[in-house]
Amino acid sequence: MDVRTTAEFIDALPKVELHVHLVGSASVPTVLELSRRHPGGGVPTNEEELRAFYTFRDFPHFAEIYMAVNALVREPEDVATLVTGLARDLAAQRGRHVELQVTPYAHHILGMPAAAVTEALDIAARTAADEHGVSVAYIFDIPGEYAEEAVKITLDHALDHPPAALIGLGLAGIEQSRPPHRDAFRDAFRAARAAGLHSLPHGGEMSGPETIWEIIEGLAAERVGHGINCLADPRLVAHLRETQLPLEVCPTSNVCTGQVADIAAHPLPTLLGEGLYVTLNSDDPPMFGTTLSREYHVAAEVFGLGEAELAALARNAVNASFLDEAGKRAIHAEIDALAATPA
């Protein structure tokens, strides 16, 4: 009888993605389609050149490349192309649900009306479910370095023209730019929560524990985007362990943006060893040469996680999502069935 390998188990494992950005999710074929649709934007139209284009010196350089690709998203059709492309890619990895971070401000500065963006997101979510079997929820994130202007644009879009699948407000971008605008971010998240949206900001990716404390205490975070630098503060680690506040951990991303020296140095094993609530995610997968499945392979190959631990991480993502209970039960049943199958 054939023996199942860990790699085969991962490939068959149903998965949920909680931390991935719309523009950053664009696979090479999708970006090539957009760059050829909108030539002259500085993004290569040749596959080999595009792959080289995705080599980053540091986080600011990554942000520059990200914005160059974002500039190709000029029409509602382009937004829908990104969402359905991600759904197609996730379906090939046994992806079942994604909570996708969209940056309305980035579309606004390119002149795209909020209502048109929302229409494209609504159409794309239906297509993703109907054609690829992937349910899509949206998180509107504020690029923190643009502060008050981005706050207003994002919040207005979320409250006045929300897509049907909008579930939360996020805060991304360069964390070191946030402190002078703390009150504006707090006010925005307070308004979003009052409207029934969840608080899903980034914190502790490129700055220290103080950023995580701020999103917990100031923004009432319900999950922490990244959060890997929590380990510098034992009191914070204890708080995260006690509350089981989910961390959206993105190992390959952290290496590619220079937050971790190499994958072997990633704190994933320490986070798990501390009893923290960890989910695995891809962040900006094609830009970082990864996929959601690849993050599970890394956890197995580099850190030695076995089938039971990998299944637990997959279950964590299901439970930390904002799927309805029926949706969660369905994915749990798939995971449990696979885990119960003898290796």
For residue 324, the domain's CATH number is 3.20.20.140
Give the amino acid at 336.
D
- Which one of the listed residues 17, 99, 175, 205 is annotated catalytic? 205
Domain that holds residue 175: 6-340
Residue 211 within a domain: yes
pLDDT at 1 exceeding the cut of 60: no
Query: pTM for this one?
Result: 0.94
Q: What is the mean pLDDT of the chain?
A: 94
Contact predicate 134/97, CB 8 Å: yes
Confidence of residue 66 (pLDDT cuts 50, 70, 90): confident
Q: What is the pLDDT of residue 2?
A: 66
Does some domain include residue 1?
no
Tally of structural domains, the chain: 1
Q: Rounded to an integer, what distance in angstroms lies between the CA atom of residue 290 and that of residue 236?
A: 30
Over residues 22-35, mean pLDDT: 87
Q: Who contacts 200 (Cβ-Cβ below 8 Å, separation ≥6)? A: 99, 139, 141, 167, 168, 169, 170, 221, 222, 223, 225
Sign of CA dihedral 152, 68, 139, 170: negative
Q: Is residue 322 in a domain?
A: yes
Specify whether 205 is catalytic: yes
For residue 307, being part of any structural domain is answered with yes
